[in-house]
Structure 1
Amino acid sequence: MSVCPTNFDEKVECSFVDRKEFIEAFENTFQNIGQKNYSILVYYGVAGIGKTSLRKKLPTLLEKHNKSNQPTRVIWTSIDFATEQYRQPYKFFEILSSQLHQKYGIKFNSFDIALATYLKKINPHSPLVKENYSKDSIVRDVLDICDEFVPVNLIPNVYSLAKSLPERYQKWALKRKEDISKLPDFEPTEIYERLPVYLAHDLADYLQNTSESAVIFIDTYEALWEKERDKGSFNSRDEWFRKLIENIQKSCLWVICGKESLRWEEVDEDWKNYLDQRKIGKLPEKDALDLLKQCGIIEKDIQNILIESSEGVPYYLELSIDIYRKIKQKEQPTPRNFAKVPEGIFCRFAKYLDREEKETLKVLSVPRYWNRELFKILIEKFNTGYPATSFSELHRFSFMDVDEEGKCSMHQLMRKSLQDYQDPDLKKEVHNFMLDFYSNQLKDLDIKAITQENENALTEAFYHAKESLEAEKLCEWFISVSDPFYRAALWQLITPMYEEILRILEAELGPQHPNVATTLNNLALLYKSTGEYEKALPLFQMALAIREKILDPQNPDIASTLNDLAELYRMMGRYDKAFPLYQKIFDIYEQMLSPQNPEVAMALNDLALLYSEMGNYDKALSLYQRTLEIVEKVMGSQHQYVATVLDNLALLYSQMGCYDKALPLYQRALDINEKVLGPQHPDIATILNNLAGLYHYMGEYEKSLQLYQRTLEIIEKSQGSQHPYFATTLNNIGGLYASMENYERSLQHYQRALDIREKVLGSQHPNVATTLNNIGLLYNNVGYYEKSLPFYQRALKILEDSLGPEHPEVAATLNNLAIFYSNIGKYEEALPLFERAVDIIEKKLGLNHPYFVQSMSNLISASGNLVNEWSQYYSFYGIIYFDTDNKIF
């Protein structure tokens, strides 16, 4: 630690003193990099003990090493978790890779591709802008040859893509293509969890190729647990950091500074072999004396009182040196000028400050960071009297820090002392000003162009808002300013803020307040957006319970939460839970509104959608027809909502086998939406997917394939490759390839769809059963009968449990399972399955449905024992189930 304040007299220089044992520990560990799998040196101790100053000293030893003509270079960088954004894993990885690239030209190709894919998945509406990437970034080079970064198209063929890129990428692509090619199949949370692995691979490749070593310094490590100590296990907060270390073996030294020792052995005892943890205690008296001499304090009586009063804590010793220099500018210091205990040192320091210095420091203690521009604004706004031209002089105090980018901050102990010292009204006034300052940077944001500066502004505005606003105002303010970030899919940024607001509201307003319900609902929407359905569910339920208790039964907020909860249940495949909620919404709207109100039409549409998914097509048909009548009358024949209902109705006709009725409705819906929304809107993809399915049913495979491929491109751009709709289209393309007898490509698409669905929807969702059924049928068609059986059995169990025993999809799986038994000669087991399938299809779909004809042919074949003869000329009709996209308003 310096124990060396920056001088007011430029001619006097103080060198770093003390901490020899800690410097020697670093030198020994550094010299032995590579002897162990991991090298981790930890310095810990109380605030002000000198950890940060030590961390700033150690890199000078590395620079000295590099200048001494050693055979291998050492690369290094430093990150301080005092900056709140750096505590988010992907921001930490981003800044770490950026620093190493800027300083040493290291390429992070795998990480850049992975991070770009993650950002594209969570924010599919926003194109990646090549100007945001360095000139030699692989993402920028990809954007130079492609209109957009679309992972589903680019990454599976990364080696082929590399051939179109500069030659430097080809070696990387050859080594890492298998890892990278899996990215489109991962959901965003999985990519997020793997980011440290991709970064580690890139850094490890560089170190291996150059035979260099790396040293990474981390400061204020304890900040990872700020406001989070009671959430989850203690060691879960830095799990991502351990994963990074685990994937860079031997050639990297990690130097971590924090208030406490690490407890990683609680996770794995093997960490004891790699952690060298050293507590930084009080500054030895001899070293303190050496420092005072080097800083020009030679009076023995003053030396003695400064050493005694600082109690070996460098922060207090440095502050005492600042006091000495302030006094000496006017007179000769004496022992009476100095406090005898640490608590009194600040008061003595404040006593010798000029009024202008004192007022300026009080104001600067409120913001966490500032730069020269904000410094000027603050001293003018609060009329501190300090000259803006003396910016550098004020920042020479030992407790001030200015980084390479000009961002200034104040030691946490000095901030606390100044805030305790000043008038609370002034502190709140500065908080209010800073809130307005940052809030102004959040106005009129374009969700497609949100920058890092915007994210920083939200983070700092939120910090000041907590100090400025009462709980209700805080809630209202945050809902407003965070909305663009929600729509831009920056959910990782705002989720912890919503979690904190919820704690504040519950503590200050009570758990039954309307704002608590609003925050619960919004937080649940965030969890739903990130696919965390199980976390979202209890929050929606709590929000609904509060609203039903404190609001009128017909209040629109109740209907809103009911709708959110019903949609979540529907997405989870829990139709038995969704149905009564949709019915309740419909009842509320009918009582509040006229039968021709658009809100009633929306409720009818949602209810019809659920009936359709549950296989009750007659009920769904009457509701869709009623919906269409209302929206055409109220909104006009060319409205977007009309297209939605037309698409849903066409889909229903398609499921009922009425293809001639479905086709013109699809075409009309497509024409409307392309005029209203443009050709790349997600609603266009919905219609294209459903229309492609219709052409498939009708045997027009080439038309179908073209539409499916266009659907994939739109969904990838707008919603990401882990969205359930993306899996829907993959499943359908798999079915199309099966019909075209391209079984290898069919299986590839089915497997990708299955992987996404199981990860996003859970293993018991009906859509999972759909793909299982189709994989089983595929294996059956290519003669791998035994492989098909477990897929059919699992699909049947899921469908019967979720949809009931008489759903058409149950009939499809029964039909296919019966085919399996027929193909292996077990007709007595096949016959009752065929009979049951025919009964269901006749009852649910009618005698004229194509599935009825297929199932009857299978039943006649099985019951007549003609299978062996027929199999020479015919195949049993396996029913492939295609997925379709209904739209909710």
Structure 2
Amino acid sequence: MPESRFSRKTQQAIKKFTDRIEPFRAFNKWIDAIAAGSITRKALVYYGVGGIGKTRLISELMSDLEKRNNINGTAVNIIFASMDVNEYNSPSTVLMGLRKQIKFPCVLFDYGMVKYMSSIGKNADQIKEFIPKNSVIWDITGDILEAIHIPVGLIDKIAIKLREKYSIQFKEYHNEIEAIDSCKRNPEELSERLPHLLGIDISVAAKNKNSMFSIFLDSYESLYRRQTFQLSNGDPDEFIQELLLSSEKTLFVIGSREYIKWEQKDPSWNEILDQHILDYLSDQDSDYFLRSVPIPDESIRKSIIESSRGLPLYLDLCVEIYLRNKNNSLSAYDFLIPTNEIIPRFLSHLSEDERTLFTALSYIHFFNFNIFEILIRELNIPIALSDFEEITDHSFVLKVENLDGIYKVHDNFYEYVINNPTVSGKSMIMDKIFSGIINYLNDNKKSIPYESMVVFYPNVMNLLSYLPEPSIAVGEKFIELSIYLIDAGYWNTVGAISGQILKKRPQDERIQFLFAVYLRRTGRLENSIKMLESINTENALFGNYKDYISYFKADTLRVMGRYSDALKLFIEISEKNNNGSDKELYLKCQNQIGDLTFLFGKFSDALGVLESACTEGNVNSILFAETLRIEGHIYRFNFMLDDALGKYINAMELARKFNILGLQGKLYNNLAESYCWLDPDKALEYGEKSIDINKNLNAPVEYGKTYAAMSIASSMKGDFSSSLKYSDLALSTQEQVKYLGGIVYAYGSYCFMYIKKGDKDKFLDYYNKMKKLVGNLGALEYTMLPYYLYLNAPELQDISKNIQWIDYGKTLEVVKSILKI
């Protein structure tokens, strides 16, 4: 046997569940066995094609279990999660979703989660959003977390108090706690242990409360399809395996489109897994369902059974057709319908207004009440807003679990409607839907939660694959919204859908632009600049966003090391927008100009540019945070590290307040780059946070710089094997994306390591490479200061005069103390 690595309202007739005898029999067999203590755990898997009824089966099993309340005197705790929900984008979020449903204290898991959240930079305010109200953390902190903002440092104190208050349980599982504590602040190691800790808590609760657990996981195949789970080193669902192996008196029920193949790596999994294919409903099951509607005419039931071929969705649609027309002398012939024509036949039985509405809902796939309201307004559909609940009660409309108020049209229904070329006025309907919803999303972007936005945005943008060219006004809206998401760190969402649209609209320069920005953010610089340079900067379809083409072109040139070309472009755009035509773009350019100015060693001039931009008035908080970050760079390269940290920490507060994940990732890198000279342990801690965030964001430029900082921190500690590893990672990462500035930092980390190690020959090898690259770039010479000083090189005289040091004397003192000269 495998072992743990760590030791709706009431349903309508049309929604009535069709009895599946064998699946129920298997479920009852194992739930009874666990309740009786015959076995400690089991994983019951139901797999089959889409539309076969897995979700409905799980829903009915849960409902039946709730009615039974207990099994032979053993109470059952029911927990559910659907893996296709966007909120569940990592193992930790899935585990937290399960944890929130447990009514008993989860002391060990909460302890580990607090440690994990602290390790990835969450403060107490943010932890409030994750930890449920019945957590022991609330018992300890009382009303403090409700009342004030608490610094990150207090998180560890909370963990210490947890140990004190629940000392008995902590003593019983001291090995697990010691293992968590030994992880220090390594997010990856902590994350790996979380399912084990939750499993122990489940086992403790089951034992102490004379109860058992039944955990239902639907749409399980999503774990294998999501990029965020694929990033893990092991199998995407390894954390589920760990949770299962650590949970006693627990039945896992899994709904999946695919057979689970755990036994291929370890055949002993067959002792735990019991897998059942959900075949098409038998004629007997289908007839049972139809009789319960009721449909008394046996000949009509036989026709429906033959047409639907046992697929529950199609049975439901046939029933809806029947109920709408049962007073019209229906016969068996009316239901002899080819299976692939059931959806269009159903649509033909709707009124014109209903058909328009359901077609529109299918086009966008996901919707909430606000979007429903927009649709009936934009399409002039005379349906009352109060009918929303009735609309969502249809068999082909599913509620998205854990995303409050969001629904989706069944995938099979959606795929038929979106790909149906015969819909009358399809382009006109799509155009109205697109413009209405894009306006709504853009106008309300600061109030719509990101987790909802990333559900709606790609599905609405997907309509561009089917539309003629949108108007300039609408184009401005979707460009503005896309840039907003990119700035917030969601460039992967924008990139995925724009890449998909380009397959159908390869000549659309607005979509090329969005995809090029995505390429820039993910480090594919040459592809990005090639695409940006091919776009007509005077394309009228960009409306007021034409200058953003040049802005992102300049931004890409900057990262490629073409600093003079980038600076020239930023100055041109800034001067053009200085009179208020686009104040935000002007301020963005000023930040970039300040950034590039200091790269040429003009620190004082750069500070002047940035400070001038801040006095312009109406600077939004995110732009101001970026200004603070660039000012932090200036102080950091002057080795005025306390000043730099002050700027970065203030910027981080704003990034957290507005939940700008991309900026947080950059700032954790900057904190690591500062602390590597002051406090190596803290630098390594922040470095892990930077890597965790920036790898998830697919931002190699940022985590490549972090590796260089972690190399320097390791050298300061005398850990040269780690230092060499990090320098190698820094260089290979930046060479892959061809970020020349990052290669300079990587060479610098080698130089510092060999200084500390006393290997002058190897130092000179990397010193010469670094000096040559700095010379070729015509910038970044200030990064050579520690190495000129180490060699007492003649270039020291030049660098002291040619660089606008803020206080050269103080800078020299700090560098000498670091080098111990």
TM-score (norm 1): 0.62
Q: Shift of residue 748 of structure 1?
A: 4.1
Q: How many residues align?
A: 706
Report the counterpart of residue 527 of structure 2 in structure 1. Answer: 542
Question: Helix, strand or coil for the counterpart of 1:74?
Answer: strand
- Unpaired runs of 5+ residues, structure 2, are 1-9, 538-545, 579-585, 616-622, 656-662, 693-701, 733-742, 761-786, 801-813
Question: Helix, strand or coil for the counterpart of 1:48?
Answer: coil
Residue type of the alignment partner of 1:845: L
The structure with the largest alpha-carbon Rg is 1
**In the aligned structure 1, how far is the partner of 2:669 from the partner of 2:269?**
40
Pairwise mapping of residues 180-191 of structure 1 onto structure 2 (< 5 A)? 185-186=185-186
Report the counterpart of residue 50 of structure 1 in structure 2. Answer: 53
Report the counterpart of residue 285 of structure 2 in structure 1. Answer: 287
Q: Shift of residue 640 of structure 1?
A: 5.8
Question: Helix, strand or coil for the counterpart of 1:216?
Answer: strand
Report the counterpart of residue 881 of structure 1 in structure 2. Answer: 818
Report the counterpart of residue 159 of structure 1 in structure 2. Answer: 159
Summarize deviations over 1:403-454 as a string: whole Å, max 9, x none: 8966555444444556677963544444444434543443456869956555
Question: Helix, strand or coil for the counterpart of 2:254?
Answer: strand
Q: Decide whether aligned partners of structure 1 residues 64 and 731 sit closer, same or farther in structure 2, where only a CA change above 3 A counts.
A: same
Q: Decide whether aligned partners of structure 1 residues 710 and 679 sit closer, same or farther in structure 2, where only a CA change above 3 A counts.
A: farther
Residue type of the alignment partner of 1:79: A
Summarize deviations over 1:696-731 as a string: whole Å, max 9, x none: 9xxxxxxx7xx6885785465356587232123333
Report the counterpart of residue 483 of structure 2 in structure 1. Answer: 483
Pairwise mapping of residues 757-776 of structure 1 onto structure 2 (< 5 A)? 761=703, 767-776=709-718
Residue number among 736, 752, 758 corresponding to 1:817 in the alignment = 758
Q: Decide whether aligned partners of structure 1 residues 432 and 142 sit closer, same or farther in structure 2, where only a CA change above 3 A counts.
A: farther
Summarize deviations over 1:166-223 as a string: whole Å, max 9, x none: x57996799676677689845xxx56x9657535523541432333433232334445
Report the counterpart of residue 213 of structure 2 in structure 1. Answer: 214
Q: Shift of residue 248 of structure 1?
A: 3.7
Report the counterpart of residue 845 of structure 1 in structure 2. Answer: 796
Pairwise mapping of residues 127-526 of structure 1 onto structure 2 (< 5 A)? 128=126, 135-136=133-134, 138=137, 144=145, 147-151=148-152, 153-160=153-160, 162=162, 185-186=185-186, 197-198=193-194, 201-202=197-198, 204-211=200-207, 212-222=211-221, 239-249=235-245, 250-251=247-248, 252-265=250-263, 271-328=269-326, 330-339=327-336, 341-346=338-343, 349=346, 353=350, 357-358=354-355, 360-370=357-367, 378-379=375-376, 382=379, 384=381, 398-401=395-398, 408-416=407-415, 424-443=423-442, 450=449, 452-458=451-457, 460-464=459-463, 467-468=466-467, 470=469, 477-487=477-487, 489-491=488-490, 494-505=491-502, 508-509=505-506, 515=510, 518-526=513-521
Q: Shift of residue 59 of structure 1?
A: 1.1
Contact 2:727 2:749 in 1 (8 A): no
Question: Helix, strand or coil for the counterpart of 1:727?
Answer: helix
Residue type of the alignment partner of 2:792: I
Contact 1:283 1:313 in 2 (8 A): yes
Residue number among 597, 605, 612 corresponding to 1:639 in the alignment = 612
RMSD: 5.8
**In the aligned structure 1, how far is the partner of 2:151 from the partner of 2:269?**
40
Report the counterpart of residue 19 of structure 1 in structure 2. Answer: 20
Summarize deviations over 1:80-129 as a string: whole Å, max 9, x none: 4565555666664554444x15x7786863576468558856xx9x9749
Q: Does 1:728 align with 2:679?
A: no
Q: Shift of residue 58 of structure 1?
A: 0.9
**In the aligned structure 2, how far is the partner of 1:89 from the partner of 1:468?**
38
Residue type of the alignment partner of 1:246: E
**In the aligned structure 2, how far is the partner of 1:709 from the partner of 1:161?**
30
Contact 1:110 1:198 in 2 (8 A): no
Question: Helix, strand or coil for the counterpart of 2:514?
Answer: helix
Question: Helix, strand or coil for the counterpart of 1:109?
Answer: helix
Q: Shift of residue 279 of structure 1?
A: 1.5
**In the aligned structure 2, how far is the partner of 1:846 from the partner of 1:75?**
74
**In the aligned structure 2, how far is the partner of 1:305 from the partner of 1:713?**
69
Contact 2:183 2:190 in 1 (8 A): no
**In the aligned structure 2, how far is the partner of 1:714 from the partner of 1:772?**
27
**In the aligned structure 2, how far is the partner of 1:6 from the partner of 1:185?**
52
Residue type of the alignment partner of 2:527: M
Report the counterpart of residue 75 of structure 1 in structure 2. Answer: 77
Residue type of the alignment partner of 1:7: A
Summarize deviations over 1:267-305 as a string: whole Å, max 9, x none: 665555543222122323333333333333333433433
Q: Shift of residue 749 of structure 1?
A: 4.6
Question: Helix, strand or coil for the counterpart of 2:49?
Answer: coil
Q: Shift of residue 498 of structure 1?
A: 1.4
**In the aligned structure 2, how far is the partner of 1:218 from the partner of 1:805?**
45
Q: Does 1:6 align with 2:12?
A: yes
Residue type of the alignment partner of 2:317: L
Summarize deviations over 1:712-768 as a string: whole Å, max 9, x none: 85465356587232123333333xxxxxxxxxxxx7457647867998655996545
Question: Helix, strand or coil for the counterpart of 1:845?
Answer: helix
Residue type of the alignment partner of 2:518: L
Q: Shift of residue 243 of structure 1?
A: 1.8
Summarize deviations over 1:496-544 as a string: whole Å, max 9, x none: 331231242255225xx755663354224543xxxxxxxx1xx211122
**In the aligned structure 2, how far is the partner of 1:302 from the partner of 1:339?**
9
Q: Shift of residue 70 of structure 1?
A: 1.7
Report the counterpart of residue 110 of structure 2 in structure 1. Answer: 109
Report the counterpart of residue 785 of structure 1 in structure 2. Answer: none
Q: Shift of residue 481 of structure 1?
A: 0.6
**In the aligned structure 2, how far is the partner of 1:590 from the partner of 1:392?**
54
**In the aligned structure 2, how far is the partner of 1:803 from the partner of 1:46?**
53
Report the counterpart of residue 809 of structure 2 in structure 1. Answer: none
